[in-house]
Structure 1
Amino acid sequence: MEFPYRNFVFAVLLLSLCTISALSYTHFSPIDNYLIDCGSTGDSTVDNRRFVSDSSRSDSYSLTSTRSVLIRNEDPLDVSPRIYQTARVFTGPSRYEFEIRDKGTHMVRLHFHKLNSSKSDFGNAQFHVLVNGVVVLNDFIGGCVETPMVKEYLIWVETEKLVITFVPSRKYKFAFVNALEVISAPKDLILDTVQYLNSEKNKKSDGFVKQALEVVYRVNVGGPKVTPFNGTLWRTWVPDDEFLKSSSGWKRLYFSGRIRYQMGGASREVAPDNVYNSARVISSRNASIPNVNITWVFPVMGGFKYLVRLHFCDIASISLGLLYFNVYVNGHLAIEDLDLSDVTNYVLASPYYADFVVDGDGSGALSVSVGPSSKSYPYAIDGILNAVEIMKLNNSMGSLVGKVPADFIMKSWPRGNMGVLVPLVAAVCLLVILSMVLRRRMTGLKDSVTWSKLPMDVSNVNIKQGFPQA
């Protein structure tokens, strides 16, 4: 009887371990999760996600617009996903309001795709977009969006509402949107303290979590494109080939083993397995350490600060404690003698990421490099990078695109029905003036006196006597 009992205990333990493992792999389930198909009369499914029509009734979100129309794509050859086959067009300021239950950082995605429609000429699509008072798009020309485009932002929300406002640039222009996403982000996605790099010194900067961010680049180094279907948080990671500036001294690496996420470290929501299981590395093939860096260059807009997030995972070393290298961001030494074994509690294939904030200078470019350090070993890996994310921070004007604040944009558009109100007020004023003139003339006829020349000596004459009395 003892042997079956032992088997039973072993089975229970195995089941418990499998359950714990399954729970640790559970997909992130956001509290606020709005997926809106704009301009559609029915719901759509894209990447196993259900986008609901913005025409449907809901107590948790609403659309306020006095001038909007639904547009459907009339191009039979366009095979874009269903959310890009319709759009809602706005000819006046309009807004979507979302009820927020989970206060904190939210991912906001705006989907755009120019449609072929006889109802609207998308060459006239030029508009501004505000998210909770932050200017995220300014004079955006939607007529140039020939293929589907996603603009992604990370917005801190302390209120019970998140409001996305669309404002046409001029009266003869219009705004449009194909789809919207408003999703509460994991609490560890954005940290409150980051390292600020400049020419003087590196220092820690606090209060960062409440900044508005625009995702400019999300790059999978050495690996293929990662789509919302096979990634986490429904993000897209593009290959790094177009940004890579080093022509030699590196090799591409793929890893088929298990990525070992640890409590308190980088989670799958920070970056998925298929980002950490590829990399570019610098490898020493002989007794000498190669004198070479791997460098990536990204075009950016000057006048803004940028958050640069670098992802590392030692999928290359055959043993712990062999990988040391330096990390550079925008020419600044960001980390010297980085030892991934030390920062991952001496576990290989365990992910780690580091955040830095740098100034976008007048060059219009931001660079990232990794290379050997003074502690690097021969016959070992002397540099590695798995992924790069670059996000733009809002400026002092509360904008992610320029120096025009939200208040100026809203005040630049005529409020209410001013186009009708102004002529109406003018007509009323004209009627009042005519009425006063007629009244004065009628009164003058009753009380008038005979008109005559004024005497030459006017000192003793009351001049008012020669004029009609009101």
Structure 2
Amino acid sequence: MKVCVLICMVLLSGFIKSGEAQTKPFLVNCGVTSSVNIDGRRWIGDLDTGDNFTLSYPGIAASTPNISEESIYETLYKTARFFTESSNYTFGVDPGNYYLRLHFYPFSFEDNDVSKSLFTIMANNLKLVSGFSVTTEISRKNSYMETLGSNSSSSSLMKEYFVNVNSAELVIEVIPDEGTFAFVNAIEVIPVLSKLFEGSVSKVGENGADNSLNLGERGIETVYRLNVGGPEIKPDRDQDLWRIWESDISYMFTSYAGSEIKNASNITYSSVNDSSVAPLLVYETARTMTNNEVLEKRFNMSWKLEVDPNFDYLVRLHFCELVYDKDNQRVFRIYVNNKTASENFDVFARAGGMNKAYHQDYVDVVSSQIDTLWIQLGPDTAAGATGTDALLNGLEIFKLSRRGDLSRISDRSGSGGKSGGLKSRALWLGIGAGVASIAVIAFLCAMFVRRRNTMAPNKSHPPGWRPFFLHGTFGNSTNNAQGSKFPGGTLTLNGSMATIRTGKYFTLAEMRLATNNFDDSLVIGVGGFGKVYKGEIDDGSLVAIKRAHPQSQQGLREFETEIEMLSKLRHRHLVSMIGFCQEQNEMILVYEYMANGTLRTHLFGSDLPPLTWKQRLDACIGAARGLHYLHTGAERSIIHRDVKTTNILLDENFVAKMADFGLSKTGPALDHTHVSTAVKGSFGYLDPEYFRRQHLTEKSDVYSFGVVLFEVVCARPVINPSLPKDQINLAEWAIRWQRQGSLESIVDPKLRKCYSLDSFKKFGEIAEKCLADEGKNRPTMGEVLWHLEYVLQLHEASLRRNSVEDSFSSTQIPANPDNPEVGNENNADHNLVEGRETVIDLNLGEDEENTRGSSISNGTAGVEEFSQLVHPQGR
């Protein structure tokens, strides 16, 4: 009997030592000696060393009488431990895996200004933060949430890490930078008994064992943990590991892209290994696609997440099929940063049934130039499923250490101490040397140019003229039909060869032939830059040829801006460039001719037949699509800054396209809310907030577009001094009628009430929202676009109900006598009413072909025009 007992004890001892961690949690309230009960757990003071942990240097116990935010951890955040020299928290633990949570609530104490606190924290040999400023990190996070449209802000910060301990101790080392101090409010050390992270995960977009990562060898930081389609889950409802699951709504690219669903049925885990991956509450709610019956079924649900560049990220997606009871009912694709992570993803099949909780891991490598991680789910039309839909229950993003380091690059570069001082001095010496080198190079370049001009005065450029090839806009042509190239390629200002060239290279002789030697009878537009000619190139295509005036500086900056924008933008509803000419001091751009001119000419001031209500809606929708792409289709948004009806052009099928990017401006960086810049634009369309504060945002375009919407309804100039005082400004006049519910009283009489009243009222509501005095109260362009699609849907539904579509067409003066419905029923884009998510994500998630900011066309390759191309008055 004794032998059996002894054997059992030995086996148990071996199991404990070789198995999972058996340590109880450590919950430490820093800056106090007594214990306190919070959220049902006992937190001990950090000077109470009788509970298997020690503090090597006590530092200073600090406290504050109150805090500025409501939190379950309010008691913890009122106290902190301040350190002016390195100190270690040492916990006696069994080898195993642990969640380590560090709580920070910055408050100044005595002479210690918390905003000047900088420090490093190590967990055994893993660097968690370096040169870390709590106040800067909180400010950065709040600023990011503000850019997402969230009103929530926080004064506290919690950092969570997953660490593997191979010894009997977990040492948390707090190291203040030289001349400053460190602090911490609370520490959690939670043993993880199940295998949350193990094995290898392949990188997204790469195949083969060589491209997988071993998670067991990496330190892990939790960046996001989201309950998709449900409310926030508090720590006490995830009692195994006491995790916080945020609601995902703030992180969605558009909140209307996915509908929330829930199921009260009994949910079980698909595998015993999943039992601690997430609480069952996460799987009881989900988000599915709002409207999946749209054009080409290419829209996605998208989550936009800010991350630190130059790290690997583990993306963990949680799934549970709550609706379908058999496979092949919901099949979709998963994209991570616009790369396909999974095709033919069927939750039912993978989880093994309905109401089965399941998770899937992916790893993506984020380069040093990217600070955003996009997670997208969209239908897989090739799968042949009954429905084209997608579903997600939960989302987690984890940062993986590199060479034992999890700290941000900005943190590391900002670290102090002796090494920081040396690095700083080295940095300044390097900068000084660089400035000196640049000065020498600039001097040599100036001498070279002066010498060249002296030697060849007859070839010098006229005053104010700078050929655009000097600005590196174009490189070697790859599609020159005749094989002609600029000799030796194209030089940039720094002497390197440019690598970006858009369109075909035309010779000056070809340009003269296309325009009958620039015959003034072919001029279709004039601007500060020069003239625009209607021409015909050698293949018989009609084109618009924009020729800058070599003797004029006026418009040159706008011309160069337009070149820059068009070199990186491609979209069905944006102007596209066919080619260019750079020869004999000429600066010429070539575009496809836009047969139906500007939207304004079809509204008033011409003999053209009036547009139908549907044609006007189509034009507004097309323009909104173009603007939405500008605002969201690149890593940094682009603000048009001159939205008006003369800059909305119509092709032969009346497809609307945005033109004239001469005033466009790159939008604010992620940590800014606006761009401070001088006011430019057109009177009548100008955002009053931008005018008052010189703060430019995407909402400035939204305001201008709201004026366009009223102009489309009323068909009159936006500024008309000949009218009574209260009618001079269209926006002010129309908004008064709209708020009285009487916008129909001032509608264009040529419409003759041939429109759905419901759609007209909804249209007026959209325009009114766009003209909100403050930008924060205006919708995004994506939301405007969705509502316009809905307006069109209301109108078409009304036509179907009343069966009067034929009579409606016959009562209108057709836009084209030979084909009254040209550009409408003949254009599939305009017949299909898209859901909001269609508009939002049409250009995302199609692998490298549709990456954000790509120069590849999104949709049918449309080629558009400037307002000056068809309007003699120009800007």
TM-score range, shorter chain: 0.7 to 0.9
Cα offset, 1:78, TM superposition: 6.3
Please tell me the residue identity of whatever aligns with 1:192: G
Q: Could you say what secondary structure the match of 1:242 adopts?
A: helix
Whether 2:297 is the aligned partner of 1:306: answer: no
Residue in structure 2 matched with residue 324 of structure 1 by the alignment = 331
Structure 2 Cα separation of the partners of residues 301 and 79 of structure 1 = 28
Residue in structure 1 matched with residue 479 of structure 2 by the alignment = none
Matched residue pairs, number?
379
**Pairing partner for 2:165 from 157, 162, 166:** 157
Cα offset, 1:352, TM superposition: 1.0
Residue in structure 2 matched with residue 98 of structure 1 by the alignment = 91
Cα offset, 1:354, TM superposition: 0.9
Cα offset, 1:248, TM superposition: 4.8
Residue in structure 1 matched with residue 40 of structure 2 by the alignment = 48
Indicate how the Cα distance of structure 1 residues 74 and 383 shifts in structure 2: closer, same or farther if over 3 A, else same.
Answer: same
Cα offset, 1:127, TM superposition: 1.1
Indicate how the Cα distance of structure 1 residues 336 and 370 shifts in structure 2: closer, same or farther if over 3 A, else same.
Answer: same
**Pairing partner for 1:355 from 358, 361, 375:** 361
Structure 2 Cα separation of the partners of residues 411 and 49 of structure 1 = 41
Structure 1 Cα separation of the partners of residues 274 and 177 of structure 2 = 42
Cα offset, 1:29, TM superposition: 10
**Pairing partner for 1:237 from 245, 248, 253:** 245
Structure 2 Cα separation of the partners of residues 369 and 263 of structure 1 = 25
Cα offset, 1:265, TM superposition: 4.9
Residue in structure 2 matched with residue 166 of structure 1 by the alignment = 174
Q: Which 4+ runs in 1 deviate beyond 6 A?
A: 283-289, 408-411
Structure 1 Cα separation of the partners of residues 400 and 283 of structure 2 = 26
Residue in structure 1 matched with residue 343 of structure 2 by the alignment = 336
Output aligned runs, 1:141-156, within 5 Å: 141-143=133-135, 147-156=155-164
Whether 2:76 is the aligned partner of 1:83: answer: yes
Whether 2:116 is the aligned partner of 1:124: answer: yes
Structure 2 Cα separation of the partners of residues 79 and 292 of structure 1 = 39
Q: Could you say what secondary structure the match of 1:83 adopts?
A: helix
Q: Could you say what secondary structure the match of 2:390 adopts?
A: strand
Residue in structure 1 matched with residue 65 of structure 2 by the alignment = 74
CA deviations over 1:376-430 (Å, ceiling 9, x no partner): 534x46210111111111112534323999xx9898599xxxxxxxxxxxxxxxx
Please tell me the residue identity of whatever aligns with 1:47: D
Q: Could you say what secondary structure the match of 1:229 adopts?
A: helix
Cα offset, 1:310, TM superposition: 0.8
Asked if the contact 2:280–2:357 (Cα under 8 Å) also holds between the matched residues in 1, the reply is no
Structure 2 Cα separation of the partners of residues 134 and 32 of structure 1 = 22
TM-score under structure 1 normalisation? 0.74
**Pairing partner for 1:375 from 376, 383, 403:** 383
Q: Could you say what secondary structure the match of 1:42 adopts?
A: coil
Structure 2 Cα separation of the partners of residues 411 and 163 of structure 1 = 23
Structure 2 Cα separation of the partners of residues 363 and 226 of structure 1 = 30
Cα offset, 1:149, TM superposition: 1.4
Cα offset, 1:266, TM superposition: 2.1
Indicate how the Cα distance of structure 1 residues 410 and 174 shifts in structure 2: closer, same or farther if over 3 A, else same.
Answer: closer
Residue in structure 1 matched with residue 443 of structure 2 by the alignment = none
Q: Which runs of 5+ in 1 are unaligned?
A: 1-27, 415-470
Asked if the contact 1:69–1:88 (Cα under 8 Å) also holds between the matched residues in 2, the reply is yes
Asked if the contact 2:129–2:411 (Cα under 8 Å) also holds between the matched residues in 1, the reply is no
Indicate how the Cα distance of structure 1 residues 410 and 261 shifts in structure 2: closer, same or farther if over 3 A, else same.
Answer: farther
Q: Could you say what secondary structure the match of 2:215 adopts?
A: coil
Q: Could you say what secondary structure the match of 2:232 adopts?
A: coil
Please tell me the residue identity of whatever aligns with 2:379: P
Indicate how the Cα distance of structure 1 residues 54 and 68 shifts in structure 2: closer, same or farther if over 3 A, else same.
Answer: same
Indicate how the Cα distance of structure 1 residues 58 and 239 shifts in structure 2: closer, same or farther if over 3 A, else same.
Answer: same
CA deviations over 1:196-226 (Å, ceiling 9, x no partner): 124x546562532121011111111111111
Asked if the contact 1:168–1:174 (Cα under 8 Å) also holds between the matched residues in 2, the reply is yes
Asked if the contact 1:87–1:177 (Cα under 8 Å) also holds between the matched residues in 2, the reply is yes
Residue in structure 1 matched with residue 99 of structure 2 by the alignment = 107
Cα offset, 1:126, TM superposition: 1.7
User: Which stretch has the larger CA shift, 127-136 or 77-86?
Assistant: 77-86
Residue in structure 2 matched with residue 450 of structure 1 by the alignment = none
Q: Could you say what secondary structure the match of 2:76 adopts?
A: helix
Asked if the contact 1:214–1:400 (Cα under 8 Å) also holds between the matched residues in 2, the reply is no
Asked if the contact 2:204–2:364 (Cα under 8 Å) also holds between the matched residues in 1, the reply is yes
Indicate how the Cα distance of structure 1 residues 409 and 165 shifts in structure 2: closer, same or farther if over 3 A, else same.
Answer: farther
Structure 2 Cα separation of the partners of residues 124 and 29 of structure 1 = 38
Asked if the contact 1:106–1:154 (Cα under 8 Å) also holds between the matched residues in 2, the reply is yes
User: Which stretch has the larger CA shift, 289-298 or 151-160?
Assistant: 289-298
Asked if the contact 1:40–1:86 (Cα under 8 Å) also holds between the matched residues in 2, the reply is yes
Indicate how the Cα distance of structure 1 residues 376 and 34 shifts in structure 2: closer, same or farther if over 3 A, else same.
Answer: farther
Output aligned runs, 1:392-407, within 5 Å: 392-396=399-403, 398-402=405-409
Residue in structure 2 matched with residue 219 of structure 1 by the alignment = 226
Cα offset, 1:184, TM superposition: 1.6
Structure 1 Cα separation of the partners of residues 244 and 374 of structure 2 = 21
User: Which stretch has the larger CA shift, 305-314 or 322-331?
Assistant: 322-331
**Pairing partner for 2:131 from 129, 139, 163:** 139
Structure 2 Cα separation of the partners of residues 228 and 76 of structure 1 = 21
Root-mean-square deviation (CA, aligned residues, Å) is: 3.0
Please tell me the residue identity of whatever aligns with 1:349: N
**Pairing partner for 2:184 from 144, 164, 177:** 177
Q: Could you say what secondary structure the match of 1:197 adopts?
A: coil
Asked if the contact 1:376–1:382 (Cα under 8 Å) also holds between the matched residues in 2, the reply is no
Q: Could you say what secondary structure the match of 1:209 adopts?
A: helix
Asked if the contact 2:62–2:81 (Cα under 8 Å) also holds between the matched residues in 1, the reply is yes
Structure 2 Cα separation of the partners of residues 376 and 156 of structure 1 = 44
Asked if the contact 1:305–1:392 (Cα under 8 Å) also holds between the matched residues in 2, the reply is yes
Structure 2 Cα separation of the partners of residues 193 and 79 of structure 1 = 41
Q: Could you say what secondary structure the match of 1:128 adopts?
A: strand
Indicate how the Cα distance of structure 1 residues 224 and 78 shifts in structure 2: closer, same or farther if over 3 A, else same.
Answer: closer
Structure 2 Cα separation of the partners of residues 283 and 404 of structure 1 = 41
Residue in structure 2 matched with residue 453 of structure 1 by the alignment = none
Cα offset, 1:54, TM superposition: 0.8
Q: Could you say what secondary structure the match of 1:136 adopts?
A: strand
Structure 1 Cα separation of the partners of residues 409 and 102 of structure 2 = 19
Indicate how the Cα distance of structure 1 residues 33 and 265 shifts in structure 2: closer, same or farther if over 3 A, else same.
Answer: closer
Asked if the contact 2:125–2:404 (Cα under 8 Å) also holds between the matched residues in 1, the reply is no
Cα offset, 1:118, TM superposition: 3.5
CA deviations over 1:427-465 (Å, ceiling 9, x no partner): xxxxxxxxxxxxxxxxxxxxxxxxxxxxxxxxxxxxxxx
Structure 2 Cα separation of the partners of residues 316 and 217 of structure 1 = 27
Please tell me the residue identity of whatever aligns with 2:217: K
Q: Which runs of 5+ in 2 are unaligned?
A: 1-19, 139-153, 422-875
Q: Could you say what secondary structure the match of 2:164 adopts?
A: strand
Cα offset, 1:86, TM superposition: 0.6
**Pairing partner for 1:276 from 277, 283, 288:** 283
TM-score under structure 2 normalisation? 0.41
Cα offset, 1:271, TM superposition: 0.7
Structure 2 Cα separation of the partners of residues 147 and 285 of structure 1 = 40
Residue in structure 2 matched with residue 387 of structure 1 by the alignment = 394
Structure 1 Cα separation of the partners of residues 24 and 409 of structure 2 = 29
Residue in structure 2 matched with residue 64 of structure 1 by the alignment = 56
